[in-house]
Structure 1
């Protein structure tokens, strides 16, 4: 769920020392690390590859006719895609990748690619039907939910947080708007040690501690997090800066927004999203829970693989609980491009990057919007250009702490494939 980097520059020396120890113990061949970006590896024996071209999606429109009138519908053939599938295949075959890629243009799916294992124990391959964790892409749904509540008059994005969560120590200094666009200064619960571990601790960890990493992370991801406990613990951490003065990505912002959604709607977060977003849009391949997962996540740290249990949904919550298929996410992004569910004014707020380039649950770039996501074992990315109706979805069931130069992150895969549009 967390979109932040894992402080690789700080932990590199410890990771390299660990890789040397493991290489000697396991008689593994050496692997090259890269300091400037995260990448990843994969055992080729666990891979299965498929690709599909020009798969059309069903039309969302319906035509009604009266018995006295004959209606003739002229269906225009979709414009030829500008996406270079040959280059895409060549690129994907040149890297190590576990997951699914979907490329669309003009509301048509023009290319898909699936590789690796969804269920490694049973040798079940990844396919377009595989359900992945989305991580921080969830924030798009949380932002839409907040804007729905504003349109109903239940809140204003200009409201101070103390109107809804007065028990949070710094609530009187922060607005809902600042939570949404990451300018609140609220400390990030995934990186401040609040859960009993922070990736910031890597720089002081011994080799023995790193070898016990799997047990540590398993305990963390399977321990439920109560919302009142979250607020109490978060209050112990001071703001990182004066609200509104800076931008800093913090997952705590959207956890607090989830609490607001539940208080004002009288529903649990997952129930609200299901009844007010997914069902009205007929998005049947998306889920605000982990119950429908058909894939297993893997965490990779250099030559070490950790097959961790699925993260307890109370930890990821409104920050990163969403799951679904690649096509399900594509159908959601079509709704985003169509400005569904909300008024134009609300969508203008969501897609306003302000001076820091982050809207409400979206990074706002020149000509497109995007977001990536991570949970422990999953790594995802989506990029959307509304004007050209271009969408690239990348879902992977491997999350890297550090890999090799032939293991790009999902966001890097999406960025590379984006260049293959004409």
Structure 2
């Protein structure tokens, strides 16, 4: 839904800025409105924002309800940053290489035995998502196994010993599994836990406070929330311990993450060539650009270099965008995993602090049959008449009676949409094909549909859906 502009901020959204002196009063008010509109329109309970301009933090502020027991939002509280953690894991391996304890051109088998293709996969391919190891968590929900604790070795034994999805270096496919393996390598080379190594080499030198997200649970910490379609916003049950490790184990405040962004801009802490290596897009064996380095995405915005990564944990979403040549960055952390509010806030703040960018045209793609099928399933979930034969066991587990009821009750009342369109081209993820759709209604309301499906069979029959999630769109 396109949120209505608010004339005044609700009391729950009023907080004291930490460092706002370099934003004009007008700019600060605009940031407040951007965040307030996004939270009101999406139902996301809270957001924590940090802005870097001119190479320093000029704004840090939290908004909304951070938990059921916290009455006032605080910018100092840590949110789970999930996959943004990957760039710290990559930095650890780069530093260990500087110390002569490993080489990024080592094979995985030198460090961790029993990995599929371990004698061919290089450590740098783990960090660039080109290893071919299948992603163990492509879904945007907790699947059944995540109700029980696991260990890095447990993840390796279940997913990293499957046949490779492709030859190392041949494709780019996001893989949390590869980062779990990378974390095990880092711990063996460092001779200590990964988080302890990062505390010593990164967090303490930069004055950052970072903790294990499995420990960032309880009355002192922001709480994660979920929403089934447009149903009620509910407290999310955290995954059991051990499911993120080196792929996304960190919790920190927006300001702490901004300190890391400033080190990136200024080429401090790490040698300049390490920063450059992390930010250099990896080329695939066919010469194509992956647009991904070692733990970060690399792109351009109106000719401006952008270093970016997002993150998703149970009940949390995060976005970190750095404009290194402009000495600017935007960090947005939210405690709801059901909307694109976090990216909407980020984009609008970036436009506020930087010159306007020119939007790129969406690539053409013939997806007619897949879009029609997705529309059929969308109609089923909003009517509560789900064809479970088109779903994997994981998705059947997700669509329990509560979720099914929330989808039916919240979507039926909207009536029929005016359009259902592919939002971006299909891409591989965790052995599945990801397609996202935008649903538009006559009153201007918009929904996002995020799907993952098994690849089509050799006879052309479509694969079952592993994920079919509906959420508010900006």
Q: TM-score, length-normalised on structure 2?
A: 0.64
1:231 and 2:178 are equivalent in the alignment: no
Equivalences for residues 68-79 of structure 1 within 5 A: none
Say whether the 8 Å CA contact 2:38–2:345 is kept in structure 1: no
For 2:210, which of 251, 263, 286 is the aligned residue?
A: 286
| Greater RCO (CA < 8 Å, at least 6 residues apart) | 1
Q: CA deviation at 1:129?
A: 1.5
C-alpha separation between the residues in 2 aligned to 1:179 and 1:412? 30
C-alpha separation between the residues in 2 aligned to 1:168 and 1:309? 32
Q: 1:210 maps to what in 2?
A: none
Say whether the 8 Å CA contact 2:20–2:28 is kept in structure 1: no
C-alpha separation between the residues in 2 aligned to 1:108 and 1:227? 36
More strand by share: 2
C-alpha separation between the residues in 2 aligned to 1:174 and 1:117? 45
Deviations 1:162-183 (A, max 9, x none): 1111211221121111111111
C-alpha separation between the residues in 2 aligned to 1:235 and 1:325? 32
Please list every run of 5 or more consecutive structure 1 residues that lacks an aligned counterpart in the other structure: 1-31, 35-43, 57-77, 192-197, 200-212, 401-406
Q: 1:130 maps to what in 2?
A: 77
Say whether the 8 Å CA contact 2:156–2:177 is kept in structure 1: no
Say whether the 8 Å CA contact 1:51–1:111 is kept in structure 2: no
CA-based RMSD of the aligned residues comes to 2.7
For 2:51, which of 95, 103, 115 is the aligned residue?
A: 103
C-alpha separation between the residues in 2 aligned to 1:144 and 1:378? 23
Say whether the 8 Å CA contact 2:319–2:333 is kept in structure 1: yes
Q: 2:223 maps to what in 1?
A: 296
Q: Does the residue aligned with 1:257 lie in a helix, a strand or coil?
A: helix
Q: 1:134 to 1:248 in 2, by over 3 A?
A: same
Q: 2:20 maps to what in 1?
A: 55
C-alpha separation between the residues in 2 aligned to 1:110 and 1:281? 17
Say whether the 8 Å CA contact 1:83–1:420 is kept in structure 2: no
C-alpha separation between the residues in 1 aligned to 2:255 and 2:206? 14
For 1:115, which of 46, 54, 63 is the aligned residue?
A: 63
Equivalences for residues 16-415 of structure 1 within 5 A: 47-50=12-15, 52=17, 55=20, 84-96=27-39, 97=44, 98-120=46-68, 122-191=69-138, 220-283=145-208, 285-292=209-216, 294-302=221-229, 303-354=231-282, 355-366=289-300, 367-400=305-338, 407-415=339-347
Q: CA deviation at 1:260?
A: 0.3
Q: CA deviation at 1:90?
A: 3.1
Q: 2:377 maps to what in 1?
A: none
Say whether the 8 Å CA contact 1:221–1:309 is kept in structure 2: no
Q: Does the residue aligned with 2:113 lie in a helix, a strand or coil?
A: coil
Q: 1:364 to 1:51 in 2, by over 3 A?
A: farther
C-alpha separation between the residues in 2 aligned to 1:351 and 1:82? 35
Q: CA deviation at 1:278?
A: 1.2
Say whether the 8 Å CA contact 2:38–2:341 is kept in structure 1: no
Q: CA deviation at 1:117?
A: 1.1
Say whether the 8 Å CA contact 1:160–1:176 is kept in structure 2: yes
C-alpha separation between the residues in 1 aligned to 2:195 and 2:353? 36
Say whether the 8 Å CA contact 1:326–1:395 is kept in structure 2: yes
Deviations 1:362-385 (A, max 9, x none): 111121211110000100011111
Say whether the 8 Å CA contact 1:262–1:269 is kept in structure 2: yes
Q: 1:81 to 1:53 in 2, by over 3 A?
A: farther
Moved more, 410-419 or 254-263: 410-419
C-alpha separation between the residues in 1 aligned to 2:92 and 2:25? 35
Deviations 1:95-120 (A, max 9, x none): 22421112220133333442221121
Q: Does the residue aligned with 1:372 lie in a helix, a strand or coil?
A: strand
Please list every run of 5 or more consecutive structure 2 residues that lacks an aligned counterpart in the other structure: 3-8, 283-288, 355-474
C-alpha separation between the residues in 2 aligned to 1:179 and 1:134? 20
Q: 1:14 maps to what in 2?
A: none
Say whether the 8 Å CA contact 2:19–2:59 is kept in structure 1: yes
Say whether the 8 Å CA contact 2:34–2:345 is kept in structure 1: no
Q: CA deviation at 1:272?
A: 1.6
Deviations 1:144-193 (A, max 9, x none): 100011111121111111111121122112111111111111100113xx
Moved more, 221-230 or 182-191: 221-230
Say whether the 8 Å CA contact 1:166–1:172 is kept in structure 2: no
Q: CA deviation at 1:289?
A: 4.3
